[in-house]
């Protein structure tokens, strides 16, 4: 982590970064009762702007509701809280982490009487999968770990507990010499990476797993779907078999942290030309063009300071 914001938003007030602490007996520590978001602010052609802030805040509250957590704040209030946190910390570009969790109170699995805490922190964060990844791509493996099955943990909630599964996928990949892992769903179809959605190109069609494959409904994913439609390419959301990875022309990850990161090999099998392909390159140009003014997008996607 490079520059961190010295002030953290906590339940409506600002505290110092070093004071943003919780009790070791907080419910979230023992039972994983947290939901969160990852958001980026870019220094755009028209000044610093947070990308798709309202959608992120709505997803945060959706995740909280699934877990029966009802924070006191509306989407509008959380949007303003994020902007104030950025202003207080004098950031021009940053990563934003709002988190809602159950704090210190009663002990035991039942969380209903524990207090609900809301924090927002900001810091500078570079390219998640490495500075060269956007151009050269990354090497990945198909993980031996499966994504969570339906009616076990809700995949649509961006919950801290879900990321224990993500950590298993990531650690396995790193310890085996890969940058990232791709998980399958409970039926053996492609799901997503440890913290990224997945896209695959074959011919003139862009494929991505459907929501029923235990994937997070990614906001960058929906952005790329919009860009694919602007390109006039065919888009297919469907169940995708593992072996389709090995014959794809191009594959890439999407996510707030990963942005659009090409995949150059899967299980040591080269993808396409073995580096970033032409469609991925074009989609990257269009994505980053949102911030330099070269790509038109819905006006509410950028929230300016």
**Domain parsing of the chain, residue ranges:** 7-123, 133-292
Q: Which of 3, 127, 136, 158 is catalytic?
A: 158
pLDDT at 132: 83
Q: What residues contact 242, with CB distance under 8 A and at least 6 apart? A: 142, 184, 188, 189, 190
pLDDT by residue for the chain (305 residues), tens only, comes to 468 999 999 999 999 999 999 999 999 999 999 999 999 999 999 999 999 999 999 999 999 999 999 999 999 999 999 999 999 999 999 999 999 999 999 999 999 999 999 999 999 987 666 668 888 999 999 999 999 999 999 999 999 999 999 999 999 999 999 999 999 999 999 999 999 999 999 999 999 999 999 999 999 999 999 999 999 999 999 999 999 999 999 999 999 999 999 999 999 999 999 999 999 999 999 999 999 999 999 999 999 98
Residue 133 DSSP SS3: helix
pLDDT at 56: 98
User: Both tokens of residue 186?
Assistant: 């409970």
Rounded to whole angstroms, how far apart are CA atoms 80 and 234?
38
Instruction: Give CA separation, 2 vs 97, 124, 168, 290, in Å.
Output: 15, 6, 26, 25
Class of domain 7-123 (CATH, top level): alpha beta
Rounded to whole angstroms, how far apart are CA atoms 227 and 297?
9
CB of 291 closer than 8 Å to CB of 226: no
Q: What residues contact 161, with CB distance under 8 A and at least 6 apart? A: 31, 32, 33, 34, 153
CA gyration radius for the chain?
19
82 by Cβ neighbours in 10 Å (0-12 / 13-18 / 19+) ranks as: buried
| C-alpha torsion sign, points 261, 245, 239, 163 | negative
CB of 305 closer than 8 Å to CB of 86: yes
State the greatest distance between any 2 C-alpha atoms of the chain, in Å, as a whole number: 56
- Name residue 152's beta-bridge partners: none
CB of 24 closer than 8 Å to CB of 30: no
133-292 is classed in which CATH architecture?
Alpha-Beta Barrel (3.20)
Catalytic residue list contains 282? no
pLDDT at 133: 86
The residue among 82, 59, 101 whose CA lies nearest residue 220 is: 59
User: Both tokens of residue 278?
Assistant: 């032409």
pLDDT at 130: 66
pTM score, two decimals? Answer: 0.95
Per the rule left: phi > 0, alpha: psi between -120 and 50, beta: everything else, 151 is: left
């Amino acid at each position: 982590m490079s520059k961190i914001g010295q002030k953290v938003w906590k339940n409506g007030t600002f505290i110092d970064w070093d004071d943003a602490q919780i009790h070791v007996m907080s419910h979230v520590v023992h039972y994983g009762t947290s939901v969160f978001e990852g958001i980026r602010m870019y220094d755009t052609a028209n000044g610093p702007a947070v990308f798709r802030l309202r959608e992120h805040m709505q997803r945060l509250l959706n995740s909280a509701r699934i877990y029966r957590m009802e924070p006191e704040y509306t989407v509008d209030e959380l949007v303003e809280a994020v902007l104030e946190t950025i202003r207080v910390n004098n950031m021009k570009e940053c990563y934003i982490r709002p988190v809602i969790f159950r704090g210190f109170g009663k002990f035991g699995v039942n969380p209903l009487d524990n207090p609900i805490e809301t924090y927002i922190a900001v810091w500078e964060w570079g390219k998640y999968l490495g500075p060269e990844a956007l151009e050269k791509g990354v090497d990945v493996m198909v993980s031996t770990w499966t994504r969570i099955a339906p009616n076990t943990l809700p995949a649509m909630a961006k919950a801290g507990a879900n990321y224990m599964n993500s950590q298993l996928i990531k650690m396995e990949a790193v310890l085996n010499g890969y940058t990232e892992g791709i998980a399958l769903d409970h039926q053996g179809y492609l799901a997503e990476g440890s913290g990224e959605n997945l896209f695959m190109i074959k011919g003139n069609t862009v494929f991505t797993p459907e929501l029923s494959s235990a994937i997070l409904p990614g906001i960058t994913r929906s952005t790329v779907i919009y860009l694919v439609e602007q390109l006039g390419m065919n888009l297919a959301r469907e169940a995708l078999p593992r072996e389709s990875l090995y014959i794809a022309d191009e594959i890439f990850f999407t996510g707030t942290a990963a942005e659009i990161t090409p995949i150059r090999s899967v299980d040591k099998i080269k993808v396409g030309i073995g580096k970033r392909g032409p469609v991925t390159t074009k989609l990257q140009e269009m994505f980053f063009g949102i911030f330099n003014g070269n790509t038109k997008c819905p006006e509410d996607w950028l929230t300016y300071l």
